[in-house]
Amino acid sequence: MDLDRFLQRFNASDRMIAEEFLSTWLPFLTKDLCEGCAGILRGRIRSLNTGHDSNRSDPQAEEVDVSLEGSFVNEEDENMALSGSVEKFAWSSTDGCDHIESTVWDTDRERESLKVGMSWADMAQQDELEKKRKKSMDGLVEEEKVEVNPTKTMLSREERERIRFKGVRRKKDFVCLERIDRKIVNILKGLELHTGVFSSAEQKRIVDFVYNLQQKGRNNELGEYTYSEPKKWMRGKGRVTIQFGCCYNYAEKNGIPPGILRNVIADPIPNLFKLMIKRLIGWHVLPTSCVPDSCIVNIYEPGDCIPPHIDNHDFIRPFCTVSFLSECNIVFGSNLKIAGPGEFIGSTSIPLPVGSVLVLNGNGADIAKHCIPAVPCKRISITFRKMDKAKWPHMFKLEPDMQNIKPFDLSKGIDYQQEYKEKVASIVIQTMRRKSIGRLIRAKNKPLHLDEAEEVLEQSSRHGLINDGGSHSVGNEASNARTSQMQ
């Protein structure tokens, strides 16, 4: 299909920028619109990058052209294989959380695919400066032949990962005051919201993997207690759960109280989720003293919810939950009320952007209850928790590859931007020297080899004939004298 006439006026880069910009404002642009109109608008925005108009009411999110360089490719890589992936960022702003990484997926697992690319941080660091030098056959360097163009600055994977790590945004100042036992208490003390931890490409990889797990669960390929998909008999009662590391009993059943089922052997944590845990520890989202050894995946369909609760103390604090596919609110309060099926009233709510990590600790985990009201669209969350050793299931053993995970050493941080500027400055100085050599060659009217020209340049610099900028100092002094006289 030919490119739309209007879009022909813009190149692919301009269309991609427009798509990312409009995707940022998509929640506002589609506010109060019917689903059909919102779908058409989403299709139009997504078609900017392909050039083909799409008026489907619920268009499939376009394929992400990403390369996870060393990221999720080798799931046994212990050096943070999650680093350095290239994604398309869609930034969203919420109250108190500005410029938060987000994606706008409406994912059906069967129709999504993954391609290869690099990370936003990589792109920003690598297409800065490029230079080309041309030399004549006899070694002459002429000023006209010196060209300085943007050149790639190669960074190691560790450097790229550190750049992304420095870009993580962390909000730790949540406040909601309630009177508890005649005292004013901040029930949100201990909550943290981290954004920018997982890129769009990494999120897509994780979401695809979760839907593969769901299919395995439906095919009875997972453990008896690992996969649970209740029948959706009313609004808010159809959430799918997949548990690894341990199996948890949410409510008293057959005389067994809520808590970890110690007689049940659960499926081990998949390698991809282990990489997520290493990212959380390595990027200082969770402390090294609380490396998760269990996780639970929640798969929401529109209308599904999580009722008010406080996580069982069979699990050590802090713990965290990662959000995928769509943004939703989590409601907190010491006394949450049920207003209807999937509807809850609390003291405050916090938006959970796509790809964000909410860490629960302190009052936010032990005093305030929390719940997820009925979600308006598909959502996936993965909650990582560390079990109390006294509550371990029988025969449970810690996995060796999850021990001694080391976070980034903040005291050894390197200012790669400053290092990059120094490299650029060095290139500029060398270029100026070559320009000066070219002037010397023409002044002597005879060919000089590069080594000879540099020797002449050094002698001239020592005698004050030529300065570091490649210009004649005598001429500059005369020019300065004339300027002073005119003034």
Q: Look up residue 443 and give its two tokens.
A: 């002044």
Strands 328-333, 369-372: pairing is antiparallel
Residues 219 and 334 occupy one common structural domain: yes
Site of tokens 């369909």: 301
> What is the enclosing helix (H) or strand (E) of 483?
helix 473-486
- The verdict on 186 and 224 lying in the same domain is yes
* Domain contains 273: yes
Q: Is residue 412 part of a domain?
A: no
- Residue 471 resides in a domain: yes
400 cis-preceded (ω within 30 degrees of 0): no
Regarding whether 392 and 316 lie in a shared domain, the answer is yes
Model pTM greater than 0.85? no
Mean pLDDT of the chain: 75
Beta carbons of 439 and 143 less than 8 angstroms apart:
yes
Kindly write down the DSSP assignment for every residue of 118-144, as one continuous string: --HHHHHHHSSEEEEE---TTS---GG
Which pLDDT score, from 0 to 100, does residue 64 have?
A: 35
In a domain, 453, yes or no: yes
What's the chain's length in residues? 487
Looking at residues 261-270, what average pLDDT do you find?
Answer: 92
Indicate the pLDDT class of residue 422, thresholds 50, 70 and 90. Answer: low
Task: Say how many CA atoms lie within 13 Å of 39 toward its Cβ.
Answer: 10
Given a cut of 80, whether residue 8 has pLDDT beyond it is no
Which is more confidently placed, 255 or 33? 33
Question: Among 11-15, 126-130, 367-371, which is the least confidently predicted range?
Answer: 126-130
What single DSSP character describes residue 463?
Answer: T
User: Where is average pLDDT lowest: 9-13, 84-88, 426-430?
Assistant: 84-88
Q: Assess whether 390 and 428 both reside in one domain.
A: no
Shared domain check, 50 and 191: no
Determine the pLDDT at residue 409. Answer: 82
| Domain end residue (candidates: 59, 88, 106) | 59
Q: Residue 449: which residues within 8 A CB-CB, separation 6 or more?
A: 138, 139, 140
How many other CB atoms are there within 10 angstroms of residue 421's CB atom?
12
* Residue position matching structure tokens 């508890």: 180
The per-residue DSSP string of 5-46 comes to TTGGGS-HHHHHHHHHHHHHTHHHHTTT--HHHHHHHHHHHH
Q: Specify the number of domains making up the chain.
A: 3
My answer on whether 343 and 276 are in the same domain is yes
State pLDDT tens for residues 184-238: 999 999 999 999 999 999 999 999 999 999 999 999 999 888 999 887 766 767 7
Inside any domain, residue 146: no
Residue 115 lies in a domain: no
Burial of 106 (0-12, 13-18, 19+ CB in 10 A): middle
47 token code pair: 């078609």
Residue 403 banded pLDDT, cuts 50, 70, 90: very high
Least confident among 139-143, 253-257, 346-350:
139-143
- With 80 as the cut, is the pLDDT of residue 67 above it? no
- Better-predicted residue by pLDDT, 20 or 234: 20
Residue 423's pLDDT is 57
State the pLDDT confidence band at 443, using cuts at 50, 70 and 90. Answer: low
Question: Would the pLDDT of 312 be above 50?
Answer: yes
Residues 335 and 433 in one domain: no
* pLDDT score of 384 more than 90: yes
pLDDT value, residue 93: 37
* Domain enclosing residue 40, as ranges: 1-59
Task: Tell me the percentage of the chain whose pLDDT exceeds 90.
Answer: 43
Answer yes or no: do 194 and 262 share one domain.
Answer: yes
Query: What percentage of the chain exceeds 70 in pLDDT?
Result: 61
* CB distance 424 to 128 below 8 Å: yes
Q: Residue 295: is its pLDDT beyond 50?
A: yes
pLDDT of residue 296: 97
Q: Is the pLDDT of residue 421 over 90?
A: no
Domain match, 254 and 183 both: yes
Examine the fold and report which residue of 40, 59, 78 is the final residue of a domain before the chain moves on.
59
Question: Are 343 and 397 in the same domain?
Answer: yes
pLDDT > 80? residue 480: no
In a domain, 29, yes or no: yes
Which residues partner with 186 through β-bridges?
Answer: 177
Residues 167 and 315 placed together within one structural domain of the fold: yes
Cβ contacts of 65 within 8 Å, gap of 6 or more: 115, 116, 117
Residue 437 lies in a domain: yes
What confidence tier does 157 reach under pLDDT thresholds 50, 70, 90?
confident
Average pLDDT estimate for 427-445: 61
Q: What CATH code is carried by the domain that includes residue 356?
A: 2.60.120.590
Q: What is the band of 62 on the pLDDT scale with cuts at 50, 70, 90?
A: very low
pLDDT at 265 over 70: yes
Shared domain check, 228 and 365: yes
Q: What are the pLDDT digits (tens) for 71-120?
A: 444 444 444 444 444 333 333 334 444 444 444 444 444 443 333 344 44
473 pLDDT tier (thresholds 50, 70, 90): very low
Predicted confidence at residue 6, as pLDDT, reads 76
Confidence of residue 430 (pLDDT cuts 50, 70, 90): low
Q: What is the pLDDT of residues 102-111, one digit of tens each?
A: 444 444 444 4
- Given this model, what pLDDT does residue 18 score? 81
Contacts of 317 (CB under 8 A, 6+ apart): 190, 290, 360, 361, 362, 365, 366
Of 13, 28, 59, the residue that ends a domain is 59
Confidence of residue 458 (pLDDT cuts 50, 70, 90): low
Q: Per residue in 266-277, pLDDT tens?
A: 999 999 999 999
